[in-house]
Amino acid sequence: MCGIAGAMSRTGAAVEIDLLEKLGAAQAHRGPDGRGHYRQDAVGLAHQRLAIIDLATGDQPLFGPDGLVLIANGEIYNNPELREELAGEPFKTKSDCEPPLYLYRRHGLDYVDHLRGMYAIALYDPANKQLVLSRDPFGIKPLYYAETDSHFLFSSEPQAILATGLVERREMTSARDALVNLQFTTGAETIFAGIHRLLPGETIVVRNGRIAERRRRAALPDGAPLPGGEDALLDELDTRLAESVTLHQRSDVPYGMFLSGGIDSAAVLALMARLSCKPVLAFTAYFPGTSARDETDLAGKLAREVGAEHVEVPVSEEDFWQLLPGIAASMDDPAADYAILPTAKLAMTARQSVKVVLSGEGGDELFAGYGRYRSVDRPWPFARPMRRKGILSELGILREASDWRTGMRAAEAEAQNHGWNRLQRAQAVDCADWLPNDLLTKLDRCLMAHGIEGRVPFLDPVVAELAFRLPDRLKLAEGRGKYLLRKWLNDVMPSAEPFSPKRGFTVPVADWMARKPELGALLAAQPSIQALCKPGMVESLFQRLDKRNGFAAWTLLFCALWHHRHIQNRPVEGGIFDVLSQRE
């Protein structure tokens, strides 16, 4: 797990060392264990290392046959198996990222088809003068690029590209409108004009500083659900989940997990306890003194049942006021998800004990856990499209109406092309944008800001292949989603109460904001909010912070703090009031 960055000049001139230094320094938090540079021809690469596998000889760049050179961010979980397949190759390290060099020599751009893991890879092929960038199919690891007049630039985080000064800090209003209505942005275009995402599963080839070729590896299998009996599919699910968690526990450093009272993390806990030879270290967030659901009792009970060491992490109102500006600063690709607060606080605590955590992201998307899937799957005319109402668009506070669903419609149109049924199409739309651009971005930034690697065993291709093509009756049943996963968990850990009604995860941000009524006027005075909202409407919003208005107010607060750091390029020292009270 690391930070990668680099450049290819369009003129053929050597990449300046100062440019590589800027790219690397902006991502130093992603790799506190070392750094490396490479310069040849018109290409420069910069690597910041967080050492997880092969601590002694795994420094990057890595070098292969024919002058090939590679830097990577992520983990290749089938590294041992690949090394067996590649027996006879002159491996120089034990790094899990070295086999891709030899796979590329054998298979060219199809090398990614052999990888099982999460990755963002940059590979330079000097014989063909081409730079190859690849991202894993679910987009677990991020990768961004920009094409300027002088260079092609890439990095693990947009803020590294901005730090070079070659791309202007300019906000795309279309992406901003998606952010304030969806809480994330969609598609290949980021919120920064001129900075793009490599899409999940995409590989691009860059020659002479320009993209010359694109191809994409799908995360989800084509085709409608496959038939199967419940008992046989339960056995197969157990086999595939156990295999995935086994692979995700491969590490040369201490690891733990994030445990809530939910089904997905309970499933991860049960498997880790079964497969690990030492007690699991589990971290659970809670909100003392608030009305938010306290998950520590159930989480603690499950931890004790399997002999896990359980760490309860309080997330307080003071944390909200003091930590949020720094957390928003780490979310350079913005996601206005209030779970960034507990995720960051968990990471701050976990870093004292571990360098890797397993988490349950992806379970809802693959096994159909969200209530919106049941709404989509209703017969006509009762079915409802997903995300038809925006967070802010129907409150009457925005200066201008916008078509904030453009990216969603593109994902919906693409989902029509794979032989999927209605439920699968809804799941695929979430896997296209919500999963990589909200949940996984949140996990990546909040953990990497503290030098921790996050792993998501549900988002394994072997698990996804089974889960996505389950019959609908084994996804949605008895008025609930994730039926087969619940049934499996009920068999292996009935104390997790997997068939009890789901009580959604909430962070009590509205309660905290309501205790500071002066926040509304201060927020309304921010230039970014004034450009977005009608006069007087923000103050009015803060006068009644019910569930809907509270989430809208939270979204505006996050966006103001984000804009302050990433567009205005101003410091975020101190708490919320300190930052928002700064004057030009």
Cβ–Cβ under 8 Å, residues 280 and 269: yes
HEC letters along 538-560: HHHHHCCCCHHHHHHHHHHHHHH
Distance of alpha carbon 331 from alpha carbon 342, whole angstroms = 14
pLDDT reading at 52 higher than 90: no
pLDDT reading at 305 higher than 90: yes
Average pLDDT over residues 499-507: 79
Cβ–Cβ under 8 Å, residues 172 and 192: yes
Show Cβ contacts of residue 39 under 8 Å, excluding neighbours closer than 6 positions: 14, 15, 17, 20, 45
Pull the structure tokens for residue 431.
Answer: 């896997």
Cβ neighbours around 514 below 10 Å, total: 17
CA atoms within 13 A on the CB side of 521: 3
pLDDT reading at 515 higher than 90: yes
| Third-level CATH fold of 230-381+435-496 | Rossmann fold (3.40.50)
Domains of the chain, residue spans: 2-216, 230-381+435-496, 509-580
Res 53: pLDDT: 61
pLDDT tens-digit profile of 14-24?
Answer: 999 999 999 99
pLDDT grade, residue 251 (50/70/90)?
confident
Distance of alpha carbon 209 from alpha carbon 229, whole angstroms = 53
Query: What average pLDDT does the structure give for the chain?
Result: 94
Res 1: pLDDT: 53
pLDDT reading at 312 higher than 90: yes
Superfamily of domain 2-216: Aminohydrolase, N-terminal nucleophile (Ntn) domain (3.60.20.10)
Lowest mean pLDDT among 68-82, 166-180, 198-212, 381-395: 381-395
**Does the CA dihedral 411-417-420-421 come out positive or negative?**
positive
User: What DSSP assignment string belongs to 69-135?
Assistant: EEEEEEEETTHHHHHHHTTTS------TTSHHHHHHHHHGGGGGGG--EEEEEEEEETTTTEEEEEE
pLDDT tens-digit profile of 31-51?
Answer: 877 788 999 999 999 998 766
Nearest residue to 272 (alpha-carbon basis) of 301, 298, 303: 303
Average pLDDT over residues 552-571: 97
pLDDT grade, residue 69 (50/70/90)?
very high
Q: What percent of the chain clears pLDDT 70, i.e. is strictly above it?
A: 97
pLDDT grade, residue 501 (50/70/90)?
confident
pLDDT tens-digit profile of 87-129?
Answer: 999 999 999 999 999 999 999 999 999 999 999 999 999 999 9
HEC letters along 132-151: EEEECCCCCCCCEEEECCCE
Res 428: pLDDT: 98
Q: What percent of the chain clears pLDDT 90, i.e. is strictly above it?
A: 88
Res 413: pLDDT: 95
56 or 436, which is more confident: 436
Report the DSSP pairing between strands 202-207 and 210-216: antiparallel
Which residue in the block uniquely carries the two structure tokens 């290949």?
Answer: 188
pLDDT reading at 489 higher than 70: yes
Pull the structure tokens for residue 130.
Answer: 């081409």
Res 2: pLDDT: 85
Average pLDDT over residues 464-483: 96
Please report which helix (H) or strand (E) contains residue 15, including its range. none
pLDDT tens-digit profile of 364-413?
Answer: 999 999 999 988 877 766 667 788 899 999 899 999 989 999 999 999 99
Average pLDDT over residues 432-451: 97
pLDDT tens-digit profile of 132-174?
Answer: 999 999 999 999 999 999 999 999 999 999 999 999 999 999 9
pLDDT grade, residue 502 (50/70/90)?
low
